[in-house]
Structure 1
């Protein structure tokens, strides 16, 4: 996959391609239907496939102090798009220059970079004047296919619906909309090391987003990016192949007066050094929302209870797998 950083003032001409445009946050089943349609049209026309995404996402740009929760950071999104065989990802930096492009300016930009055909959602609009749509593009000589809204159980599949499910701790519903378990990938970095003093050491995993889409305490499976663990490392097997079982807290840590969002994962019985490793954390079971404990002793007791409950949940799931 090729990643192109789009400069509206000095655009790069790309191989002739079919393009789809959007945030693609989460790459849910609706996005996946769009990508499958993109590949079908491109193959029929003998053109390359391209996806244009915005960084930051427009709503993050307009409201940075209270942005919507982010399902996938840019690296996670790229990995998902690559899995679906997209050949080019065009990263458009959403800033004042870009947002003030008129529909005509944006269409001319598409012509310059080599767009011949577009696959769009049926409600897609573009340009600061909101004049850009399917009919507008066709009038300028572009081929355009639009994809009807994708639904499941009479629910419109959207990033907003996934966010709402995750915010409620409804991982099964989120999985149904995404087509897979919700996961976060990040690097293990040094944290405050408070967990060590409580006898529950944690891996502090970078989020790389302004606000995560879920919070609370969860049972998780943890995988290294290359799916392999070093000799001598120990831990409890997860429910997924090549994974370790973990107990995760994602939130602002009010019990220790935290303010920034953190993803911290405790791996029971683990022995090894994960600093610098890139881990994927797959969220399997929601236990409860983040709690505010009055002191470190109460916090330690609360963590102990959470870990025991999640270990019991793991035991039940393993029995179900064996049966």
Structure 2
């Protein structure tokens, strides 16, 4: 997949794609339906924005993203997207009127042949552009526009907001039903305080900065090691939270990989939250903590058997 992080002076082979456009946070089943409608004889593309516009306009709000840019790109590649147009959402882009955005960015720079958006898609300065307005502009500028219907699950609309709620409630399986895939946290393995190694459970530590925080606690997880000599899929147990036993303050993700030995520092992992096992707890001492970790791993292996 080709990733274009600008919209001016694109190479010839990056123009003329049929694109799905939106923020695509989480790439849930509704997003996938929009992308599927863009498939056809033209190269398949996705137009999105980085950073997410909400991060620009409301930086004071708590982190909300379901996936970072790396995770989104990895998922889009798996969906067969050939061109990802990751438009830099800055003051210049935000100031464009809907008409200027469509003409200058989509028609003149990207040269799109077709665009698919969801019914609720808005764009341009002050979010003044609508899907219906985009369709009218497309007719004038020579490209087709398809407006996708919203997708529901058991009578409820699928949305990034509903997925965040499920994760906050410790229900990754319901989130996965709406996503069409396990909710994943991706990123680089960082050096930590190495307490897990001292306890007999060495963990891969990952930051959660900028991401929506699922319910704190212990999870059964599937882990894809994306880089390095030990790349592959593993099962494991992960602690997500602030480590109350050690008076932590900054949330992170600590993952213990079953049947694994080696150094993962600097490698990139994709950790799928499969089942919530228990909340974070404070124990009376390290022996009690280790006994609970033993039990957590036994239960995690049971949850992951057959996957």
TM over 0.5: yes
Find the aligned partners of 1:307 and 1:103 in 2 and give their Cα distance. 57
- Aligned ranges for residues 149-160 of structure 1 at < 5 Å? 149-160=150-161
Structure 2 residue 222 is matched with structure 1 residue 221? yes
2:294 is aligned with 1:304: no
TM-score, length-normalised on structure 1? 0.82
**Change in CA separation of 1:247 and 1:16 when aligned onto 2, cut-off 3 Å:** same
Unaligned 5+ runs, structure 2:
none
Question: Which residue, out of 45, 51, 57, partners 2:52?
Answer: 57
Partner residue in 1 for 2:257? 267
**Structure 2 CA distance, aligned partners of 1:3 and 1:85?**
13
In structure 1, what is the equivalent of residue 114 of structure 2? 117
- Whether the 8 Å contact between 2:151 and 2:158 is mirrored in structure 1 is yes
Contact 2:18 2:44 (C-alpha < 8 Å) held by counterparts: yes
Q: How does 1:116-265 map to 2 (within 5 A)?
A: 116-140=113-137, 141=140, 142-207=143-208, 209-214=209-214, 215-225=216-226, 229=230, 243-265=233-255
Alpha-carbon displacement from aligned partner over 1:291-313 (angstroms, at most 9, x marks no partner): 3x37xx53662353143144135
Q: Check conservation: 1:157, 1:177, Cα contact below 8 A.
A: yes
Aligned residues: 298
Contact 1:38 1:119 in 2 (8 A): yes
1:238 alignment partner in structure 2: none
Contact 1:117–1:144 (Cα < 8 Å) also in 2 = yes
**More displaced, 209-218 or 111-120?**
209-218
The TM-score with structure 2 as length reference comes to: 0.86
Task: Show CA shifts across 1:82-105 (max 9, x none).
Answer: 111111111112222222211111
Report if the CA contact (8 A) 1:211-1:261 is conserved.
Answer: no
- TM alignment of 1:92-103, pairs within 5 A: 92-103=87-98
What is the CA RMSD across the aligned residues, in angstroms?
Answer: 2.6
Task: State how far apart, in whole Å, the 1-side matches of 2:151 and 2:192 are.
Answer: 41
> Quick check: 1:20–1:38 contact (8 Å CA) kept in 2?
yes
Equivalents in 2 of 1:146, 1:182: separation in Å? 27
Question: Which residue in 2 is equivalent to 1:12?
Answer: 10
Q: Does structure 2 retain, via aligned residues, the 8 Å contact 1:60–1:67? A: no
Residues 216, 286 of structure 1: 8 Å contact kept: yes
Contact 1:59 1:68 in 2 (8 A): no
2:106 counterpart of 1:105: no
* 1:156–1:12 Cα change, 3 Å: same
Q: 1:286 aligns with which of 276, 290, 293?
A: 276
Which runs of 5 or more structure 1 residues have no equivalent in the other structure? 231-241
| Residues 195 and 201, structure 1, Cα contact 8 Å, conserved in 2 | yes
- On the 8 A contact 1:24/1:31 being kept in 2, the answer is yes
SS at the partner of 1:258? coil
**Residue 264 of structure 2: SS of its match in structure 1?**
coil
